[in-house]
Structure 1
Amino acid sequence: MLIRAGYKITYDCTQPTPMLLALSVRPERLPDVEGEHRIRFDRPAEARDYLDGFGNTITRLVAPEGRLVISNDFLVRDPGTPDPAAPDAEQHRVEDLPDDVLVYLMGSRYCDTDRLSDTAWSLFGNTPPGWGRVQAICGYVHERITFGYEHARSTRTAWDGYMERKGVCRDFAHLAVAFCRCMNIPARYATGYLGDIGVPPADSPMDFSAWFEAYLGGRWHTFDARHNFPRIGRIVMARGRDATDVAISTTFGPCTLAGFEVVTEEVGAEAAQAARRGEAAGLVPDRSSGQGPAQRDMAVG
């Protein structure tokens, strides 16, 4: 299948403002992108990319004073299959974990494992280690937290989400990640596109999404505590310890978000041809900067 993905994000800056953007797909997913994958600006803005410590592509720029529209609109080939399951995936002993995985056992800014450890062991200590334990965590978090965009709060930690019992997709991911780490299961935060493919369409505006990955049986597996069932068409933008590492933008100066649109949808042949011709829904501004390809990720939910 073909998935159309993109965004149009508008900022108002009262002065030239340095920014870091995590707005491209993960480098390993780039071979699935049809045509050019480039962050566009409606005003001249010099930008360059670099890879961060988690393998995400970050776009670095200085936004000019005034209004700046940042956008992208592209097609991605996808097999159209649900998230794979591996019920036999085993949990590793800590001493057997690869060195580069150990960081995902530690507490982090939004995953305050020190406050949740006793709770985690009381809830999941008797569950079967491995896939069954992670699935039990997903089920519990799915029931514990009530989803609603009106519940969004950028300072909410996993402990806060557990206590307040409300949040958005990032809060589901943070609590599940924290519980996994408390149970000695490496877990990392992921963000990207997830459209209403194979499910009834939501009546709320499209947004970036957040889920998580757990390390079992020698590899990373996708889990989603908010939806709690396999989904079709995930396009990963970024991975990290928590939302701190994958913010869609980090600004270093006075700046106001003035507009935010995201699109993720399966398209047929006719719509795909229109998208290839640049005729898709006007998400991309008419003028763009001349920056080079942006390969990168990041998002919240």
Structure 2
Amino acid sequence: MHIRIGYEIEISCEAAIPMLLAMSTHTEFAGRIIGSDNVRTSRDQTVEQYIDLYGNKISRIVAQPGVTTVWSDCVAEVDGEPDHVPWNAVQHAVEDLPPETLRYLVASRYCDSDELINFAWQQFGHLTNGCARVMAICDFVHNNTTFGYKFARTTKTATDVLGEKTGVCRDFAHLSVALCRAMNIPARYASGYLGDIGVPDTGFDDFCAWFEVYIGGQWHTFDARYNTPRIGRVLMVRGADAADVAMMTSFGNYRMNSFRVWSEELPDGQSDADLLAMLEHRHVGRPQPIPVPTFVMGATAR
């Protein structure tokens, strides 16, 4: 399956603003990229890229005074299958976990699992460990949290989500991650493209957050926001929580003028040459609501 993915974000600032952009596909994305997923800008400027400790590709730019458009447009080739559900995967004893998973057992800025231990064990302690327990956590978060962009704020923790029962996709992921960690299940935050493929059209595309857990000897994808296996997920970033993977981190003030994302299934049977020719023409998409910033460092960030 071929999916055209990309974004176009216009910002303006009064002074030169250094920015870190986590807006390329992850180094461990399982599919194939046709074209370039690198961050590009409307200005003639250097875009420096590095890999952070989570394997995320980070691009560093200095947005100059005035208007700058940041964009990317490429095609991702994926298997076209829904998310795999590891029904028989078991939970590992802490002493048996690989060392590299242990950092995903402890509390982090937005996933304050240490505050949720008693609640989690009362709610899920009686369940069979492994996949069944993770699925129960997904069901709980999905059924007890109301989605809405108006509920987003940069300081919202997993405990806040549990108490307020509202949030955006990152809040669903944070609460799920925190509850899994409270149950001694390694869990990490993830985000990327997830278009309306195999589901009703919502009217616009956006980036989406989900989470991954380590059970049955490997990492698996779960999504409490939609709570059903989805097709066409394209991984961009991973981390302990959203503080590690803000898509736009600025060290100064800027204004976001416009924002749009696309993640669209393409017709079958097209060659790489056909797809590259298509990418010669800039994508024309639907306008989208300007998102609430999701992490602040220096000044503001997406």
Task: Map residues 61-210 of structure 1 onto 2, 5 A cutoff.
Answer: 61-203=61-203, 205-210=204-209
- Structure 2 unaligned blocks of 5 or more: 286-300
Query: How much does 1:113 deviate?
Result: 1.1
Q: Equivalents in 1 of 2:74, 2:232: separation in Å?
A: 14
Q: CA RMSD in A?
A: 1.8
Matched residues, number: 284
What code does the residue aligned with 2:10 have? T
Query: How much does 1:279 deviate?
Result: 2.1
TM-score, with normalisation over the residues of structure 1?
0.90
Task: Map residues 10-25 of structure 1 onto 2, 5 A cutoff.
Answer: 10-25=10-25
Q: Equivalents in 2 of 1:241, 1:37: separation in Å?
A: 24
TM-score, with normalisation over the residues of structure 2?
0.90
| Counterparts in 2 of 1:30 and 1:37: CA distance versus 1, 3 Å | farther
What code does the residue aligned with 2:158 have? A
Compare 192-201 and 144-153 and name the one that shifted more.
Answer: 144-153
State the match for 1:290 in structure 2. Answer: none
Query: How much does 1:191 deviate?
Result: 0.2
| Counterparts in 2 of 1:47 and 1:281: CA distance versus 1, 3 Å | closer
Query: How much does 1:274 deviate?
Result: 6.5
* Conserved 8 A contact 1:8-1:72: yes
State the match for 2:298 in structure 1. Answer: none
Q: Equivalents in 1 of 2:229, 2:268: separation in Å?
A: 26
| Counterparts in 2 of 1:275 and 1:107: CA distance versus 1, 3 Å | same
Query: How much does 1:282 deviate?
Result: 3.8
Compare 227-236 and 146-155 and name the one that shifted more.
Answer: 146-155
| Structure 1 residue matching 2:173: 3-state secondary structure | helix
| Counterparts in 2 of 1:31 and 1:236: CA distance versus 1, 3 Å | closer
* Conserved 8 A contact 1:17-1:251: yes
State the match for 2:217 in structure 1. Answer: 218
Query: How much does 1:246 deviate?
Result: 0.9
| Counterparts in 2 of 1:136 and 1:269: CA distance versus 1, 3 Å | closer
* Conserved 8 A contact 2:188-2:213: yes
State the match for 1:279 in structure 2. Answer: 281
* Conserved 8 A contact 2:36-2:73: no
Compare 96-105 and 270-279 and name the one that shifted more.
Answer: 270-279
* Conserved 8 A contact 1:21-1:250: yes
Deviation per CA, 1:110-167, whole angstroms, max 9, x where unpaired? 0011221111111001011001000000000000101112222221110010001011
Query: How much does 1:40 deviate?
Result: 1.2
State the match for 1:38 in structure 2. Answer: 38
Query: How much does 1:31 deviate?
Result: 6.0
| Structure 1 residue matching 2:126: 3-state secondary structure | coil
What code does the residue aligned with 1:115 have? E
Q: Equivalents in 2 of 1:31, 1:169: separation in Å?
A: 23
Q: Equivalents in 2 of 1:143, 1:275: separation in Å?
A: 42
Query: How much does 1:224 deviate?
Result: 0.3
- Structure 1 unaligned blocks of 5 or more: 284-298
State the match for 2:7 in structure 1. Answer: 7
* Conserved 8 A contact 2:105-2:181: yes
* Conserved 8 A contact 1:34-1:76: yes
| Counterparts in 2 of 1:86 and 1:30: CA distance versus 1, 3 Å | closer
Query: How much does 1:271 deviate?
Result: 8.6
What code does the residue aligned with 1:276 have? A
| Counterparts in 2 of 1:30 and 1:179: CA distance versus 1, 3 Å | closer
User: Percent of pairs identical after alignment?
Assistant: 49
* Conserved 8 A contact 1:117-1:182: yes
What code does the residue aligned with 1:5 have? I
